[in-house]
Amino acid sequence: MISIDKVSKHYGSFQVLTDCTTQVRKGEVIVVCGPSGSGKSTLIKCVNGLEPFQSGTITVDGISVGDPKTNLSRLRSRVGMVFQHFELFPHMSITDNLTIAQVKVLGRSKEEATDKGLRLLDRVGLKAHAHKFPGQLSGGQQQRVAIARALAMDPICMLFDEPTSALDPEMINEVLDVMVELAQEGMTMMCVTHEMGFARKVASRVIFMDQGRIVEDNATDAFFGAPRSERARQFLAKILSH
Amino acid sequence: MYEFDWSSIPGALPFLWEGMKVSLEITLTAVIFGIAWGTALAMMRLSPLKPLSWFAAGYVNLFRAIPLVMVLLWFFLIVPQLLRSVFALDPNTDVRLTSAMIGFALFESAYYSEIIRAGIQSVPAGQVAAASALGMTYAQSMRLVVLPQAFRNMVPLLLTQAIVLFQDTSLVYVSALADFFGTAYKVGDRDGRLVELLLFAGAVYFVLCLAASQLVRRYQKKLNAHVAH
Amino acid sequence: MSYQWNWGVFLTPAAAGDGSTYLGWMLSGLQVTVALSLSAWVMALALGSLIGVLRTVPNRWLSAIAAGYVELFRNIPLLVQLFIWYFVLPELLPVKLGTWFKQDLDPVTQQFLSAMVCLGFFTSARVCEQVRSGINALPQGQKNAGLALGFTLPQTYRHVLLPMAFRLVVPPLTSEFLNIFKNSAVCSTIGLLELAAQGRQLVDYTAQPYESFIAVTVFYLLINVVVMSLMRVVENRTRVPGYLGGK
């Protein structure tokens, strides 16, 4: 589904990504973790072309992201993305947030889009809030709306960029529950997150990054049982001690 | 097609320089008095004494609501007579420059006062509390603690306002004073070369103001870098 | 020195013998000021928004051209710009167009057109800076979120960035809107009979300078109050719930 091959990226002389290679197959859930500044967010943004990269190739469903001939908007409309800071559109009601891209990008009718949006809103448990505005919801609620907004586009896979790290602790679980459910339904997912409990529960593989490199790409049990690299071991020790 | 003839400019340069000196003179006095009176207005506006604060608010809002051209015209038509009668001056004394300067200073002080008020309010309230805790009076805490910090933050804005003021001095045209622009216009009119002289005046203003605003921008960057450390 | 106040002067027929009172002169000046300011404002808003957007797009050439535009109109005094539009431009136009402007149009139309174009361009540079800072004040993630949903860049501006940016800049745009009314007084220098010019004319005709200046000042204050309450309505109408002090 997603294939990342020898991707490198630099800002001026600063190397952000070096030779990153990995695959995400259909139905897999991949968790990407690592210390801050390790390049994991940059990597996931390269997957739908929000960040350009200088060398290597990324293909999603057989379409090359870096190819200038690729219609990026079209590709992005098929790849769902959830952001650290939710990025709901503050000037639109929740319903409009859920429907605008369905109508303007996919060309669905207003009724069809509203119907679909409200069904997904119900699924994330927020049907009662359809007429509110993003600023009137809590962070956890906003993030669940953001997930529903991405799902409304019928994505072939979902990208999560630290979806819980801007949330207060008591709101993290409501978002993770939605993500676990999604994983169990067989959605292909690539998640940048520090939630190791989530990783243990649903991840097929865990990728550990440090200083722009993929240091470890391992099956979940193996990663938690016996990490191959010293850096990953240290990282796990630090995170689990909390 | 229009044929340009720039030949009347070189000969007029000494006059233009005299005019530029007038423009700069007005700018400088208006900046100095504008900042001084503007500071006083800002402190009145923030003062707990209601009448003072009302007076300052009324003054600032009035001057900010009316056009500068109108103020200058008013000063041109009325103030000279007033000055003459109050100071019993010889009716032939030319008080146009003085009244233009007073007009600019009074007008610009309203704008300066708003910049300064915002600057004072940007200093955290805790600073005043700390100064009072050390036993300073209100005036001392303003002078020693609040204003120095406020002015440091405000310098770029005050300078930008000075550039605007310099551009605005061209409006003394309405009082027939020979500032830089007025001189350029007169020379152009005299020689039938208005097109060239107006374009020349525009170019001079552009170069001067662009250079000055780039300097302010660079200073602002330095200031920001300094604050960040 | 004693000054004879005479507020009745406004109701006396004007000495020019055009059948109007002096108050009528004032009102016609007010009309010109309002018509000029509004038409220039429409122009400034359209041009300024366009250039403001160009300043933020990821294209070095477009944003450099937009930046040059802003510097040009910001660093030349308004009066000089006005004189260039009015006295210089007609000379530099192709002969036919220049002659049409200078001879076929009546003087009032000439003055009005020059004044409108001048104020429009001058103000557009300021509007542009406000729109740009509004767009830049939005979190970078908003643009990414728009793109990630499959919007093209123009669609992202249209549906995501601009609606929010415009709401953010309503207060600074209000003060630019007020400025355009005040700046329009500069156009009295090319002979356009707007409010300030009528005030001056009144001084010449009636020798009652205090009354006429007070009247003009009151009219400008009135314009201020009307514009501010208008913009407050706009601000309240566009307020986003849960954001920017909205409920």
Q: Is residue B35 included in any domain, yes or no?
A: yes
Q: Is residue B106 included in any domain, yes or no?
A: yes
The confidence score (pLDDT) of residue C2 equals 66
Contact B9, B200 (CB under 8 A): yes
With an 8 Å Cβ cutoff, is C79 touching chain B?
yes
Q: Is residue B143 included in any domain, yes or no?
A: yes
Q: How confident is the model at residue C247 (pLDDT cuts 50, 70, 90)?
A: very low
In the numeric block, the tokens 């303007």 are attached to A104
> What is the Cα–Cα distance from A209 to A38, expressed in whole angstroms?
6
Whether residue C139 and residue A85 make contact (CB cut-off 8 A), yes or no, is yes
ipTM of the predicted assembly exceeds 0.95: no
With an 8 Å Cβ cutoff, is A76 touching chain C?
yes
Beta bridge partners of C85: none
Chains A and B touching, counted as 3 or more CB pairs less than 8 Å apart:
no
Closest approach of C222 to chain A, Cα-based (Å): 33
Whether residue B174 and residue C189 make contact (CB cut-off 8 A), yes or no, is yes
Region B96-105: what's the mean pLDDT? 86
- Give the percent of chain A with pLDDT over 90: 74
The confidence score (pLDDT) of residue C45 equals 95
Whether pTM exceeds 0.90: no
Beta bridge partners of A22: A4
Closest approach of C60 to chain A, Cα-based (Å): 17
Chains C and B touching, counted as 3 or more CB pairs less than 8 Å apart:
yes
The confidence score (pLDDT) of residue C56 equals 92
> What is the Cα–Cα distance from B153 to B220, expressed in whole angstroms?
9
CATH value at residue B136: 1.10.3720.10
Q: How deeply is B133 buried, as exposed, middle or buried, from its count of CB atoms within 10 A (0-12, 13-18, 19+)?
A: exposed
Number of domains in chain B: 1
Q: Is residue B3 included in any domain, yes or no?
A: no
Contact residues, chain A, for C155 at CB < 8 Å? 73, 104-105
Q: What is the pLDDT of residues A36-63, one digit of tens each?
A: 889 999 999 999 988 999 999 999 999 9
Chain C interface test: which of B86, B161, B167 (most C C-beta within 10 Å): B167
> What is the Cα–Cα distance from A102 to A77, expressed in whole angstroms?
9
Q: Is residue B220 included in any domain, yes or no?
A: yes
Region C136-144: what's the mean pLDDT? 91
Q: Closest Cα partner for C148 from A84, A199, B171?
A: A84
Is residue C244 over pLDDT 60?
A: no
Q: Which of B73, B85, B199 sits opposite C84 (nearest CB)?
A: B199
With an 8 Å Cβ cutoff, is C150 touching chain A?
yes
Q: What is the pLDDT of residues B151-185, one digit of tens each?
A: 888 899 999 999 999 999 999 988 888 899 999 99
With an 8 Å Cβ cutoff, is C137 touching chain A?
no
Torsion of CA B34, B39, B41, B45, to 10 degrees: 150
Region B39-43: what's the mean pLDDT? 93
Q: Is residue B1 included in any domain, yes or no?
A: no
Tokens of C27: 């009102």
Q: Residue ranges of the domains in chain C?
A: 30-238
Q: What is the pLDDT of residues A216-232, one digit of tens each?
A: 999 999 998 888 888 88
Q: Is residue B130 included in any domain, yes or no?
A: yes
Region A143-166: what's the mean pLDDT? 94
Helix spans in A105-188 (H)? 110-123, 139-151, 169-184
- Tell me which residue range forms the domain holding B185: 10-228
Q: What is the pLDDT of residues A76-109, one digit of tens each?
A: 999 999 999 999 898 889 999 999 999 988 999 9
With an 8 Å Cβ cutoff, is C243 touching chain B?
no
Interface chains of chain B (3 or more CB pairs under 8 Å) = C
Please provide the CATH number assigned to the domain covering C30-238: 1.10.3720.10
Region C189-214: what's the mean pLDDT? 86
Q: How confident is the model at residue C204 (pLDDT cuts 50, 70, 90)?
A: confident
| Degrees to nearest 5, angle at CA A209 with A208 and A210 | 130
Q: How confident is the model at residue C14 (pLDDT cuts 50, 70, 90)?
A: confident
Do strands A63-64 and A55-60 pair parallel, antiparallel, or not at all (unpaired)? antiparallel
> What is the Cα–Cα distance from B112 to B103, expressed in whole angstroms?
14
The confidence score (pLDDT) of residue A241 equals 64
Provide the mean pLDDT of chain C.
89
Q: How confident is the model at residue C50 (pLDDT cuts 50, 70, 90)?
A: very high
Is residue C48 over pLDDT 90?
A: yes
